[in-house]
């Protein structure tokens, strides 16, 4: 009978498999949930969830499977609202009107809730094994649906109630490409170099030195090998990029998490960079673009993220910036060209599918910045390959 529950969890997007199922059975077999549904809740959650983001779907699945608890914001609330807003139907006889008055809104609601409860039970029938008397493995034969909702005394904080509180709602995240995959792709972006304190034994060096020393051992140390890549991430935010914000967040957190870069910085812009960019997504904290160019030398690698979708004059006109406060004295395209020249090792990731790349602004951007790649896993891998080739060509 747990098989149903496991499939129910899968339906809610939890990646449970036979592995979890067997673990759960073993745990039950060893008497872990004992007589208690709340203990079963903790048990199943610890086994079936893999991160706190799984807690909310788990809670919903659990609540639905085990009891007809009312969710906040369920259909019932809507019905109540409809009842309050109900308009008097036309063409009623006096007798009918009198009959309607006899029933107060409260009575109506009550009746309606009863009806709703009945209906729920018929719909749900079959898979709710708590409450179906002797077949329950927990000995909860007398578990009464109404009992939970009415009797909230002391110990009786039932698992379903905990589950239906949905404490972990904020952790929900429907992942498309996950951060880990991007992280693995970004990991390929590295160039080894040695500097700093000599704390690693150089075996080859030691052998050679020992040989020269006529067999008297001489140890040679050297600095450990470290990744030399300094990465700058420039991200287009706001406007049309809002649709892609999730994907961009994944890229950002992957780049941020991956600890192997020597240095990592990021700035934001809207559509196109001009005299200044921003350190925050809300675009409150400005940084002069020329300061960025002064602080970061050409050894930095740059990944641009943007859809390059805007009106062409935002790229070509003085003062053409979409945000009036920019008042740019140089056209956006010149800024892009200037930055590409300053950072020869740079690529552009475009979250839009390639079919949309024929728009005018995109073509303009590519005229000065040809290294544009789609922001898929393959695209990111290709972009990283391109960065490495740019490095090897000694740009």
Partner 1 sequence: MLSFKGTSSYIASAELQEIVTLAFDLQKPLLIRGEPGTGKTVLARAVSEALKLPLLTWHIKSSSKAQDGLYVYDTVQRLNDSRFGTGDVQDIKKYIKLGPLGQAFASPTRSIVLIDEIDKADIEFPNDLLHELDAMSFAIPETGETITARERPVIIITSNAEKELPDAFLRRCIFHYIAFPEADEMRTILKVHHPRVDEKLVSAALLRFYWLREQAEIRKKPSTSELVDWIGALSRAGVDVKSLEKEVPFLGVLLKKEGDIQALKQGSKRSHSSRF
Site for partner 1 in 223-282 (CB under 8 A): 224, 257-260
Mark the segment that binds partner 1 (CB under 8 A) among 1-9, 43-51, 315-323, 324-332: 43-51
**Do 92 and 98 contact (CB within 8 A), yes or no?**
no
Give the position of tokens 């898979």.
127
Query: What dihedral angle (degrees, nearest 10) is formed by the CA atoms of 76, 81, 84, 87?
Result: -110
Mark the segment that binds partner 1 (CB under 8 A) among 38-46, 77-85, 131-139, 232-240: 38-46
Helix (H) / strand (E) element for 276: namely strand 276-278
Binding of partner 1 by 294 (CB under 8 A): no
* CA-CA-CA-CA torsion sign (269, 270, 275, 279): negative
Site for partner 1 in 204-233 (CB under 8 A): 216-217, 219, 224
**Nearest residue (CB) to partner 1, 26 versus 118:** 26
State the DSSP code for 12: T
In angstroms, the CA 390 to CA 348 distance is: 13
Output the smallest distance, CB 390 to partner 1, in A: 24
Output the smallest distance, CB 183 to partner 1, in A: 6
Structural tokens at position 130: 């708590």
Mark the segment that binds partner 1 (CB under 8 A) among 39-47, 62-70, 116-124, 375-383: 39-47
Sequence-ordered list of residues with C-beta below 8 angstroms from that of 69, at least 6 positions apart, any chain = 63, 148, 149, 160, 161, 164
Applying CB under 8 A, among 116, 117, 177, 184 the residue interacting with partner 1 is: 184
In angstroms, the CA 303 to CA 186 distance is: 11
Q: Binders of partner 1: how many residues, by CB under 8 A?
A: 36
10: closest CA among 50, 64, 58, 53? 58
Applying CB under 8 A, among 97, 110, 115, 187 the residue interacting with partner 1 is: 187
Applying CB under 8 A, among 78, 178, 282, 297 the residue interacting with partner 1 is: 178
Binding of partner 1 by 55 (CB under 8 A): yes
Q: How many CA within 13 A on the CB side of residue 45?
A: 24
Applying CB under 8 A, among 167, 207, 318, 360 the residue interacting with partner 1 is: 167
**Do 24 and 47 contact (CB within 8 A), yes or no?**
yes
**Nearest residue (CB) to partner 1, 140 versus 226:** 226
In angstroms, the CA 332 to CA 323 distance is: 12
Site for partner 1 in 57-116 (CB under 8 A): none
**Nearest residue (CB) to partner 1, 79 versus 168:** 168
Q: Please state, in angstroms and as integers, the Cα–Cα distance from residue 250 to each residue in 108, 247, 371, following that order.
A: 49, 5, 21
Output the smallest distance, CB 40 to partner 1, in A: 10
Applying CB under 8 A, among 10, 32, 173, 222 the residue interacting with partner 1 is: 32
Binding of partner 1 by 28 (CB under 8 A): no
Question: Which residue ranges make up the site for partner 1 (CB under 8 A)?
Answer: 15, 17, 19-20, 23, 26-27, 30, 32, 39, 42-43, 46-47, 49-52, 55, 167-168, 178-180, 183-184, 187, 201, 216-217, 219, 224, 257-260
């Amino acid at each position: 009978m747990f098989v149903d529950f496991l499939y129910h969890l899968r339906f809610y997007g939890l990646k449970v498999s036979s592995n979890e199922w067997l673990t759960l059975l073993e745990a039950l077999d060893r008497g872990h949930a004992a007589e208690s549904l709340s203990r079963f809740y903790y048990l199943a959650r610890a086994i079936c969830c893999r991160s706190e983001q799984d807690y909310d779907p788990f809670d919903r699945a659990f609540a639905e499977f085990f009891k007809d608890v009312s969710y906040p914001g369920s259909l019932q609330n809507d019905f109540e609202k409809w009842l309050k807003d109900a308009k008097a139907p036309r063409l009623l006889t006096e007798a009918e009107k009198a009959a309607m008055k006899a029933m107060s809104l409260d009575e109506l609601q009550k009746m309606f809730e009863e009806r709703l409860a009945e209906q729920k039970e018929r719909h749900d029938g079959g898979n709710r094994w708590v409450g179906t008397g002797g077949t329950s493995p927990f000995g909860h034969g007398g578990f009464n649906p109404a009992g939970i909702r009415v009797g909230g005394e002391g110990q009786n904080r039932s698992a379903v109630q905990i589950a239906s509180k949905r404490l972990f709602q904020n952790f929900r995240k429907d992942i498309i490409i996950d951060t880990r995959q991007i992280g693995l792709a970004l990991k390929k972006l590295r160039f080894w170099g040695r500097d700093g304190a000599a704390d690693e034994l150089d075996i080859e060096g030691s052998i050679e030195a020992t040989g020269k020393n006529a067999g008297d051992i001489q140890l040679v140390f050297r600095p450990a090998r470290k990744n030399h890549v300094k990465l700058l991430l420039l991200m287009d935010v706001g406007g049309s990029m809002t649709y892609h914000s999730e994907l961009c967040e994944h890229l950002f957190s992957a780049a941020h998490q991956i600890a192997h870069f020597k240095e990592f910085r990021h700035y934001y812009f809207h559509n196109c960079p001009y005299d200044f960019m921003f350190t925050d997504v809300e675009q409150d904290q400005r940084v002069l673009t020329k300061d960025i160019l002064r602080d970061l030398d050409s050894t930095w690698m740059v990944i641009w993220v943007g859809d390059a979708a805007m009106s062409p004059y935002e790229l070509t006109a003085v003062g053409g910036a979409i945000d009036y406060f920019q008042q740019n004295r140089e056209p956006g395209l010149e800024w892009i060209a200037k930055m590409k020249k300053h950072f020869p090792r740079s690529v552009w990731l475009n979250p839009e599918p390639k079919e949309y790349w024929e728009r005018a602004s995109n073509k303009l951007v590519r005229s000065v910045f040809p290294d544009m790649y789609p922001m898929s896993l393959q695209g990111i891998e290709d972009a990283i390959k391109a960065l490495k080739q740019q490095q090897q060509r000694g740009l």
